[in-house]
Structure 1
Amino acid sequence: MARVRTLVIVLGDQLDLSASAFDGFDAATDLAWMAEVVEESTHVWSSKPRTAMFLAAMRHFAQALEEAGRPLHHVRLDDADNAGSLAAQLRVDLARLRPTRLVMTAPGDWRVLQAIQAEAAHAGLPLEIRDDRHFYVTVREFRAHAQGRRSLRMEHFYREQRRRHAVLMDGDEPAGGQWNFDADNREAFGPSGPGAVPPRATFEPDALTREVLALVERRFADHPGQLDSFAWPVTRDQALQALQAFIDERLAHFGRHQDAMWPGEPWLHHSHLSAALNLKLLNPREVVAAAETAWREGRAPLESVEGFIRQILGWREYVRGIYWTRMPAYAESNALAAHEDLPAWFWTGRTDMACLHDALAQTLSHGYAHHIQRLMVTGLYALMLGVQPQQVHAWYLAVYVDAVEWVELPNTLGMSQYADGGLMGSKPYIATGRYIERMSPHCQGCRYDPGERAGDRACPYTTLYWDFLMRHEALLARHPRMALQVKNLARLSPDQRQAVTDRAAQIRRGEVGALPA
């Protein structure tokens, strides 16, 4: 084989023909390289929907590269000589292909970056890592934003980006005269529920995707999750269709009820675009522009559009900056010294807590749950139970189709589990079962009472809320946003405190909440 000039490394979350790694690509001398390896589904116990999402999208992108006339060396998961890991496969192929240099777009996972850098060094080859143009803000720019600040807050960062990129701005002022419409976007559904909800954009698996689904069922038979309803966009064209469907059918109703939950309704008015964004099938600029245009044309209210854009231009960019400026130490964060194991039923959904059962069942079926289900149902329970945050991180990374470490790790360790001590979130997000009762009807059909903190009918969320305050009383009493909650402990007698502690111990032993296997 003639020696390759440039080997362009393409990872499973870099499925973009216009990625920076392809700048200057010459089909006569250069070669793209993709590898499907079992390690990416086993370093965490990746669910079937997540693995299928990545593999189906990768194989369709391989077709797109071929159609674009770009030579590709593609190692498939079911190839007999597959080396099993990115590092091992790259080492084999560097010896076989003999490139003079390596080029890639910056990856989204610290572990992967270290592995590729190590293999390039081992082979004695230069490795050029280029900026990922799918983000508004480079890591260097985020570092400059963070430098010298006593504290970091997403809201400050978000406003800077609105001004810088002229998004939802009327001259020098924010559209509508305010930056944030959260006060308009936190309503529950009424007693009759969400009403008619437009169906999500679904895509019937084609022959290539069906081939992947069969492979995943065969190769990862013991992994969690189901593939019966797999219908995610796995191509650029499908992702664009999904974007248009959201803008036309659900954006107008997204804001007001974006924090609401309803049993058996996983999709509601959310966009379901995060996986397509994170695999780079969509560019955030086109998503933000489509939402802003819908508002300016009178097709969606400002509060919905602002709430949606904040998730992309604000939160998505912010968590990436936190990840790449704080790794690798950030991954070991455990500010609350949490050490409990994640309950085994998180992997099966076998719990008699109605809200958790619903969130886990849809997660395992679809690889999806919206942000409140992640933060204030699954994440809240793990936080107050005292689960080691690295176990929570591994679960989130494994089960969701949109999970890439740069976005999942800070959201889990920082925002959800307060493991970074307040870098990401200004306080621990804790609540009793009353919060879930307010935002959904789950409690109406649940055996537990959110108003009870101890006893056989006590809601585990409520018990664990008071137990969390007691366990961290000294720390939280000094916290300006938690002091009032801690003061409520003074209302509890010693006997009431002991009753909470005893009930919490039952929950941690698995005597409460778990259903028989």
Structure 2
Amino acid sequence: MKTLRLILGDQLNYKHSWYRNDDPDIYYFIAEMRQETDYVVHHIQKVIAFFEAMREFSEWLTSRKKHVIYYQLQDKKNQQDLSKNIKHLIEKYGFIKFEYQLPDEYRLDQQLNNLCADLKIDFEAYDTEHFLTKRNELAEFFNGKKNLLMESFYRNMRRKHKILINGNKTPEGGKWNYDQSNRRKWKNNFEIPHQCQFRRSVTATFNRIVKSGIKTLGDVDPKHFPWPSNRKDSLKMLRHFCKYLLPHFGDYQDAMDPNEAYLFHSRLSFSLNSKILSPLEVIETAIDQWKLNKKTIHISQVEGFIRQILGWREYMRGIYWREMPNYSKQNKLQNFNSLPPFYWNADTDMNCLHQTIKNSLQHAYAHHIQRLMITGNFALLTQTNPDQVEAWYLGIYIDAIQWVEMPNTRGMSQYADGGLVATKPYISSGAYINKMSNYCGDCRYKVKERTGEDACPFNSLYWNFLAEKKAHFKGNPRMGMIYSLLDKMSRDELKALKKKANQFIHNLRHE
């Protein structure tokens, strides 16, 4: 049966059961499309990474004697729209069946559902064979429960997949979660091993993107591209991380330093989110390394890493499919300010924001605390429209795909879902940033001052936010202590803080 199979740019699973079939009547279709490059402004490294990975995957399929139809961006036959391309190919080649793997973005899921409803031929959808959960598994797990606590889901996943579990179903090491051990500040007291860097030339792909007129953001050296784009390089990066960086990952996963772009982080998220690597093989590789080196790798290091993948990553996907499409419209705190212009160029005197955004523009990367407690914290405190925050996060990071970025941004970071994901807003004054980073010492603002000319803006913004949003958090048990401090604050002090914060927000609007 002459069949057309679609492979999306984030479905590059080399281990998928599809490819065990040598049927000569099966054709695989992969396409670079303006539909995908233009729905937000993406980082140039992100566009390059996906195009390079798609091209290498198509070459791998061809090497295995598969029929591949690959559309580059500038091909005249490329109609830049998924539905139009599929319909044209079916008509041109006379396919009598269309098959695809379930997409992980709601917009693509809807597009393919609508396409298939119009087709005059048979069609069939398959699982991507990547995640450790099904789309609706989280919704089923929390059915009838009041709270969607990630920790409950994470423990269930540990038990179900027998990961870091003793035979009697108790956690390895005696604790489920070592998060309290994962909060050390980086003090530059020993040498960080080098990251796995590839420095390949991607000049041809870069030139095609520029010639096509795609609007992008960020920087790139096309002669020295640092990201993996195939399974061989992704596995090399995984092994490198487990051998050299995992021993201190947990300790410093929340730390921030202006001179260390990556610290001990794995940089595997692009390979995972494009499905080049599977979460299970990443988890098993890390556990194997820990088992071989228990004297030098404490369980808190490996548990902290696994929690990000087995717990948080699968949890975010489950939240996304449980709540879409309404989730994309959530703005419970009614924040409508514009994202400041310096998010696009790092031109700000606040050193934490300058360093984090500069790093993101240079590397298409920031780790989870930089995203949550620097750029996300500031956006929330300045009461920025979550639509704009989400579009920025979706564009700037190499690993950003809507299923993972939306619930992390709209839920965890911006509290726009009213507490569905986070039990309290993740906000802080300058004190937390100073505690977990090395940004404040070189900042022109003084982290311990609240209202003076050189006071850290995070301080007045923090108390102003709490005062303005008090009605939203009335009765929240996790906010009781901080609101008791606010209530004890003198009227004059609060007035001065609110004046300072609102002047600052006003100036942001007129930059």
TM-score (norm 2): 0.95
CA distance in 2, matches of 1:444, 1:460: 15
Partner in structure 2 of residue 284 of structure 1: 279
Partner in structure 1 of residue 350 of structure 2: 353
Question: Equivalent of 2:207, from 203, 214, 229?
Answer: 214
SS in 2 for 1:196: coil
Question: Equivalent of 1:98, from 94, 98, 104?
Answer: 94
CA distance in 2, matches of 1:215, 1:202: 24
Partner in structure 2 of residue 133 of structure 1: 129
Decide whether the 8 Å contact of 2:13 with 2:130 is kept in 1: no
Decide whether the 8 Å contact of 2:333 with 2:472 is kept in 1: no
CA distance in 2, matches of 1:413, 1:430: 14
Give, in angstroms, the shift of residue 108 of structure 1: 1.4
Partner in structure 2 of residue 502 of structure 1: 499
Partner in structure 2 of residue 376 of structure 1: 373
Question: Equivalent of 1:60, from 43, 50, 56?
Answer: 56
Task: Between 83-92 and 455-464, report the one with greater CA deviation.
Answer: 83-92
CA distance in 2, matches of 1:264, 1:96: 55
Partner in structure 2 of residue 293 of structure 1: 288
Q: Percent identity?
A: 39
Decide whether the 8 Å contact of 1:19 with 1:105 is kept in 2: no
CA distance in 2, matches of 1:373, 1:218: 33
Partner in structure 2 of residue 484 of structure 1: 481
Decide whether the 8 Å contact of 1:38 with 1:77 is kept in 2: yes
Partner in structure 1 of residue 228 of structure 2: 233
Give, in angstroms, the shift of residue 82 of structure 1: 2.2
CA distance in 2, matches of 1:512, 1:332: 23
Give, in angstroms, the shift of residue 47 of structure 1: 1.3
One-letter amino acid of the counterpart of residue 268, structure 1: L
Partner in structure 2 of residue 14 of structure 1: 11
Within-5 A mapping of 1:341-490: 341-490=338-487
Give, in angstroms, the shift of residue 89 of structure 1: 2.4
One-letter amino acid of the counterpart of residue 90, structure 1: I
CA distance in 2, matches of 1:302, 1:451: 36
SS in 2 for 1:139: coil
Question: Equivalent of 1:263, from 244, 258, 263?
Answer: 258
CA distance in 2, matches of 1:414, 1:304: 26
CA distance in 2, matches of 1:43, 1:331: 14
Unaligned runs of 5+ in 2: none
One-letter amino acid of the counterpart of residue 140, structure 1: N
Question: Equivalent of 1:113, from 102, 109, 112?
Answer: 109
Partner in structure 2 of residue 30 of structure 1: 26
CA distance in 2, matches of 1:450, 1:91: 59
Give, in angstroms, the shift of residue 138 of structure 1: 0.8
Decide whether the 8 Å contact of 1:117 with 1:127 is kept in 2: no
Task: Between 77-86 and 259-268, report the one with greater CA deviation.
Answer: 77-86
CA distance in 2, matches of 1:475, 1:327: 23
In 2 relative to 1, CA 57–194 (structure 1 residues): closer, same or farther, beyond 3 Å? Answer: farther
SS in 2 for 1:173: coil
Decide whether the 8 Å contact of 1:384 with 1:465 is kept in 2: yes
In 2 relative to 1, CA 147–462 (structure 1 residues): closer, same or farther, beyond 3 Å? Answer: same
Decide whether the 8 Å contact of 1:507 with 1:513 is kept in 2: no
One-letter amino acid of the counterpart of residue 101, structure 1: K
In 2 relative to 1, CA 513–457 (structure 1 residues): closer, same or farther, beyond 3 Å? Answer: farther
**RMSD over aligned Cα atoms:** 1.8
Unaligned runs of 5+ in 1: none
SS in 2 for 1:248: helix
CA distance in 2, matches of 1:234, 1:513: 41
Encode CA deviations 1:154-179: one digit per residue, 9 max, x unaligned: 10011111111110112121110110
In 2 relative to 1, CA 487–97 (structure 1 residues): closer, same or farther, beyond 3 Å? Answer: farther
CA distance in 2, matches of 1:19, 1:406: 21
SS in 2 for 1:73: strand
Encode CA deviations 1:38-88: one digit per residue, 9 max, x unaligned: 121211011101111111111111111101111011111121332122233
CA distance in 2, matches of 1:223, 1:31: 32
Encode CA deviations 1:117-151: one digit per residue, 9 max, x unaligned: 21222223343222222111112322221211111
Q: Does 1:272 align with 2:267?
A: yes
In 2 relative to 1, CA 337–127 (structure 1 residues): closer, same or farther, beyond 3 Å? Answer: farther
Give, in angstroms, the shift of residue 513 of structure 1: 11
Decide whether the 8 Å contact of 2:37 with 2:214 is kept in 1: no
SS in 1 for 2:485: helix
Q: Return structure 1 stretches of 4+ with deviation > 6 angstroms.
A: none
Give, in angstroms, the shift of residue 24 of structure 1: 6.9
Decide whether the 8 Å contact of 2:340 with 2:509 is kept in 1: no
In 2 relative to 1, CA 254–305 (structure 1 residues): closer, same or farther, beyond 3 Å? Answer: same
Task: Between 253-262 and 90-99, report the one with greater CA deviation.
Answer: 90-99
SS in 2 for 1:133: coil
Give, in angstroms, the shift of residue 282 of structure 1: 0.6
Partner in structure 2 of residue 254 of structure 1: 249
One-letter amino acid of the counterpart of residue 255, structure 1: G
Decide whether the 8 Å contact of 1:353 with 1:513 is kept in 2: no
Give, in angstroms, the shift of residue 367 of structure 1: 0.5
Partner in structure 1 of residue 191 of structure 2: 196
One-letter amino acid of the counterpart of residue 34, structure 2: V
SS in 1 for 2:286: helix
Q: Does 1:46 align with 2:42?
A: yes
In 2 relative to 1, CA 446–32 (structure 1 residues): closer, same or farther, beyond 3 Å? Answer: same
CA distance in 2, matches of 1:200, 1:395: 26
Decide whether the 8 Å contact of 1:185 with 1:259 is kept in 2: yes
In 2 relative to 1, CA 511–26 (structure 1 residues): closer, same or farther, beyond 3 Å? Answer: closer
Partner in structure 1 of residue 200 of structure 2: 205
Question: Equivalent of 1:146, from 142, 148, 154?
Answer: 142
SS in 1 for 2:477: coil
In 2 relative to 1, CA 287–249 (structure 1 residues): closer, same or farther, beyond 3 Å? Answer: same
One-letter amino acid of the counterpart of residue 448, structure 1: Y
SS in 1 for 2:125: strand
Decide whether the 8 Å contact of 1:158 with 1:314 is kept in 2: yes
Question: Equivalent of 2:156, from 154, 157, 160?
Answer: 160
In 2 relative to 1, CA 194–420 (structure 1 residues): closer, same or farther, beyond 3 Å? Answer: farther
SS in 2 for 1:469: helix
One-letter amino acid of the counterpart of residue 152, structure 1: L
One-letter amino acid of the counterpart of residue 313, structure 1: L
In 2 relative to 1, CA 494–125 (structure 1 residues): closer, same or farther, beyond 3 Å? Answer: farther
TM-score (norm 1): 0.94
